[in-house]
Amino acid sequence: MIPKFRAWLIGQEYMAEIEAIAFRGDGNVDVYTSLSGNDFYTVGEECELIQSTGLCDKNGVEIFEGDVVAYNGIRDFRLCIQRAFGGTYIAVNGKTTELLKYINEGFVIIGNIYANPELYHFPDVENMVTPR
């Protein structure tokens, strides 16, 4: 699998496709997007770098970390995709944790934690781990 990324542009509150990633000598990472022209966004300051899981939902839409999926679109049974141990991905909702590869084809993406933070709120869970 070739790694695929996208970027959440913090100031614009927009998810952008990445054209290039640059690793600077000072340790910073910059991304160039279709919106940036000759400009760049610094990861962690101006954008969040988000990696694909390599899997798709039941509609064939690629799943990225931070996406929120729901079984057949039912909001009461939703899971948030997070990176875990050694590059694997898990789906969590505070009550259950599943390895992403075990999520069956009934799940669809209903949003992500960046553009739709309200989807990450699980009212009956007190100690939910907050994503980066």
pLDDT recorded at residue 102 = 63
Among 107, 112, 82, 119, which Cα is nearest to 97's?
82
pLDDT recorded at residue 73 = 61
H-state helical runs in the chain: none
pLDDT recorded at residue 78 = 77
Do 22 and 33 contact (CB within 8 A), yes or no?
Answer: no
From residue 11, give the alpha-carbon distance in Å to each of 15, 47, 100, 113, 130.
Answer: 11, 8, 30, 16, 20
Q: What's phi and psi for 77, nearest 5 deg?
A: -125, 80
pLDDT recorded at residue 31 = 93
pLDDT recorded at residue 9 = 92
Return all residues near 42 (Cβ < 8 A) that are at least 6 apart.
28, 29, 30
pLDDT recorded at residue 75 = 63
pLDDT recorded at residue 25 = 93
Distance (Å, rounded) from C-alpha 42 to C-alpha 44? 6
Return all residues near 109 (Cβ < 8 A) that are at least 6 apart.
57, 59, 61, 63, 67, 68, 69
Return all residues near 128 (Cβ < 8 A) that are at least 6 apart.
92, 94, 120, 122
pLDDT recorded at residue 112 = 92
pLDDT per residue of the chain (132 residues) written in tens, 0 to 9? 688 999 999 999 999 999 999 999 999 999 998 776 667 899 999 999 999 988 888 888 998 999 988 877 666 677 888 877 777 777 777 776 767 766 656 788 999 999 998 887 655 444 444 444
